[in-house]
A and B are shown apart, each in its own frame.
Chain A
Amino acid sequence: MIAYLIRRILYAIPILVGVNLLTFALFFVINTPDDMARLQLGMKRVTQESIDKWKQQRGYDKPLLFNSQASGTNKLTDTIFFRKSASMFVFDFGYSDDGRSISREILTRMWPSLSIALPTFVVGLLLYVTFALLMTLFRGTLLDMAGVTLCVFLMSISALFYIIGGQFLVSKMWHWVPISGYAGGMDSLRFIVLPVLIGIVSGIGSSSRWYRTIFLEEAGRDYVRTARAKGLSELRVLFRHVLKNAMIPILTGVVAVIPLLFMGSLLTESFFSIPGLGSYTIDAIQAQDFGVVRAMVFLGSALYIVGLILTDISYTVVDPRVRLQ
């Protein structure tokens, strides 16, 4: 188990290098550091000296990938790519173009993101599982069919509709909560309710339907038939047998998503002007702040890999038949 984990973590390194290389290529194939400097300095007639100075300050005055003037391993290390990515592996993200520490920003902006993402995730999961379980209980009846139809209908509606409609109905018509914004402490509750609610509603369709399929698959197994043949009530069969076993694919699927909750949601955060990581990323992309985008991509990928490893571990925890080697 330990050996497996170590191997998985070591395997993550080349993947993260690849991710870095890809983002790097994406930004620099088209934009030279000169272009970036010009964009940041923001003037039409920028002198070459000020560009050079900007590049030197930010460390963009080296060759991109391969330094032919240096000697030995310096050929590879004395480059923008190496200098900028190596420090990422110890989670030192450097500074954004406006001079702020990216790590600091991430640490402060993480909380608003989490305060939206976590309740959405937990309450949503409970609701979806309950809904799916109900549909399974009434499977084959009109209720089940109505439930599935509702799910298909709900998942065919654009996420934009849920957000725009929700904001309009709850905030503009009924004046229950503010349309958007965020505040620290207990005050934030007012601002959180609506995005969380919308997040939950927009996920009902696809998630419940997916969980229902899992439940149904499990409910058709031999051991479930045996349990029914023993004379157990349908409810007991559902909760004691089906739910327990169906939770394996559900939980392991869910575990992969948990680390990514830190990243926040781009759409929700920009709609509700929540100062989280999602809106941070959007702003950075629009300002073409390479440092921030690279940091966020790195963070996202690292969290994704953590999610994959957690999934593997969770398999061994919930299903003793699975052994990692």
Chain B
Amino acid sequence: MSFKPVILWTDAMIFLLLAVAIAGAWWITRKPHLLLPWQRLSRSRAGMVSLLVLSLFIVIGLLDSLHFRVALPENNNANGQTVYAAEVLSVFDILVSDLRSQTEKTYSAPLAVYLYAKESTETPDGKILREYPRLQYGGAHLTDPLHEHVRDVIKRSLSGVLAGLLAGILLAWLIVAVAASRSRMSARAWVQARQGTSLNAALGAMILILMLAAMTLNLAGAYHVLGTDKVGQDVLYLSLKSIRTGLVIGTVTTLVMLPFALLLGIAAGYFRGWVDDVIQYFYTVLSSIPGVLLIAAAVLMMQVTIEKHAGWFSSSAERADLRLLFLCLILGVTSWTSLCRLLRGEALKLRELEYIQAAQAFGVSSLRILTRHIIPNVMHIVLITVVMDFSSLVLAEAVLSYVGVGVDPSTNSFGTLINNARLEMGREPMVWWTLAAAFSFMLVLVLAANLFADAVRDAFDPRLNRTGDAK
């Protein structure tokens, strides 16, 4: 099967961010003084467990960012040119292709065997029956669902949990064994040396996650674990696809705003005078406009532009992606001012310190002072802000998409998921699973991000008292 890779704008941004993160990690491991707060972070139980959850989300998001278009099998060799499908797929789509392709007719409850709505069917002897039809895929392997259904669900869940448990224990043992042999200790001694650290919690969380994942996987092979939506799409698939959008909004926005906030904030604080005045004027203007209004107005304007210039985009995925990127940009514009103000204050404080004054007295150029002395000393503020902003951005996306000024309706996101399900609570019987799935996925993501942010702040904030920390 031949395919053509497609790099969307946000994909490029994500992989740029990944490269920066890897380079940063490599740089930090070589500097013991930079490594110290990270070691402090690795001792936090909540921090490590939430990091584990977050990395699961990130892996899904990254897999979902490797896009390509599949070559169409027909009229391929018409004139020696390969024709590609218009639909842009990702590696993640291929991994869960069953979830993606197995669509039912309409709503069905989680783990259901029957459709949500009654349908008229004609029996062979000409009578018309009103009954709940069987699902095409969900529980299709059961011959007598009335008796087998519950037992089958329980059996599959249990075997999934058991498989996850075994895999988890095996993996934990492997990690300990490898780590111990690398530090030339026996496994027992290695574990004992880490008593009171986050090791046990992290390994335990890993086993739990694996159990849950294996159970879901095992059930998803035969059922729609979280039901299906109005057009019969699997809600689990939609929720998993929404993760990428949430991550993009939470991280790319920061990537976009960071250079401005960092440069302008530090410049304002360090140079003072008219530079400070201009920059302050600039961010006061921006921050005095109510954020939602600015976002809404900008997004609507962009919609008009996109409609006017439909020819700019070769596929609908590209158009939706550009809209996502633009939303990130606009969120970045409205959210950089607070970081800028913080950095300005910090730079104002730093420039009066002895070591900066000494550098100035030696005739070190301003540029060098900024890059060598000021920026490294405000990085903890940047890091803390970036991590703290993540969760609020994910939440903001849902609200904006709901109001209609967020991502493109064709983009999978928690906001569009909730928006599409907005009227389902009023149905009789109630369709609760789409909303429940979207909100739970969002809760897990945001909660993990919040806990991780707290751990990062505790580890990096120099104002916190750390007497108990001395080794």
User: Is A26 an interface position by the 8 A CB rule?
Assistant: yes
Residue-by-residue, is A135-173 near B (CB-CB < 8 Å gives 1, otherwise 0)? Answer: 000000000000000001101111111001000100010
Q: A26 to B285, Cβ gap below 8 A? A: no
Chain A residue numbers with a CB within 8 Å of B358 are none
A304 touches B435 (CB 8 A): no
Are A285's CB and B297's CB within 8 A? yes
Q: Which of A11-19, A72-80, A316-324 sits within the interface?
A: A11-19
> Which residue from A18, A159, A164, A168 sits with its C-beta under 8 Å from B395?
A159
A157 vs B438: C-alpha distance when bound (angstroms): 11
**Cα–Cα, bound, A159→B398 (Å):** 9
Q: Is B288 an interface residue (CB 8 A)?
A: yes
- Mask for B394-422, Cβ within 8 A of A = 1, else 0? 01001100111100000000100010001
Q: Find B305's partner among A30, A297, A300 (CB 8 Å cutoff).
A: A30
* A263 to B405 alpha-carbon distance, docked (Å): 19
For B418, give its contact among A26, A160, A285, A293 (CB under 8 Å): A160
Q: Report whether A281 and B293 are in contact in the complex, using a CB–CB cutoff of 8 Å.
A: yes
Range, interface on chain B? 35 or more
Other-chain contact of B284, A15, A158, A286 (Cβ < 8 Å): A15
State which of B298, B425, B450 has its C-beta within 8 Å of the C-beta of A155: B450
- CA–CA, A205 to B395, complex, Å? 14
How far apart sit A263 and B301, CA to CA, in the bound complex (Å)?
22
B residues less than 8 Å from A164 (CB atoms)? 418, 422, 425, 435
With known contacts A18-B285, A152-B450, A286-B404, A158–B439 Cβ distance under 8 A: yes
Interface residue? B320 (CB, 8 A)? no
Instruction: Count A/B pairs, Cβ under 8 Å.
Output: 110
B451 within 8 A of partner (CB): yes
Given the interface pairs A18-B285, A285-B300, A286-B404, the reply to whether A300 lies near B293 with Cβ below 8 Å is: yes
Enumerate chain A residues within 8 angstroms of B404, measured Cβ to Cβ: 286
- Nearest B residue to A267 via CB reads B399
Contact between chains at A160 and B402 (CB < 8 Å): yes
Q: Once the chains bind, are A19 and B289 in contact (CB under 8 Å)?
A: yes
Cβ of A27 < 8 Å from any Cβ of B?
A: yes
Residues from chain B with Cβ under 8 Å of A226 in the complex: none
A236 to B442, CA, bound (A): 42
A156 to B304, CA, bound (A): 34
Query: Scoring A residues 243 to 270 as 1 if CB is less than 8 Å from chain B, else 0, what string do you get?
Result: 0000000000000000010010011001
Say whether chain A's binding surface is mostly helix, strand, loop, or mixed. Answer: helix
Given contacts A152-B454, A158-B439, A285-B405, contact A15 B446 (CB under 8 A): no
Q: A271 → chain B, closest Cβ, in Å?
A: 9
A305 CB-CB contact with B under 8 Å = yes
Indicate whether B443 reaches chain A with its CB closer than 8 angstroms: yes
Judged by a CB distance under 8 angstroms, whether B296 is at the interface is yes
* B355 touches A (CB below 8 Å): no
A286 to B293, CA, bound (A): 11
Decide: B395 and A158 in contact? CB cutoff 8 A. yes
Knowing A156-B391, A297-B289 are in contact, say whether A23-B399 is a contact too (CB < 8 A). Answer: no
30 contacts between A and B (CB under 8 A): A15-B281, A15-B284, A15-B288, A19-B288, A22-B289, A26-B294, A26-B301, A30-B308, A31-B301, A35-B304, A156-B443, A156-B446, A156-B447, A158-B395, A158-B414, A158-B418, A158-B442, A158-B446, A160-B402, A164-B425, A168-B425, A263-B290, A267-B399, A270-B403, A281-B293, A281-B296, A285-B405, A288-B304, A301-B288, A304-B288
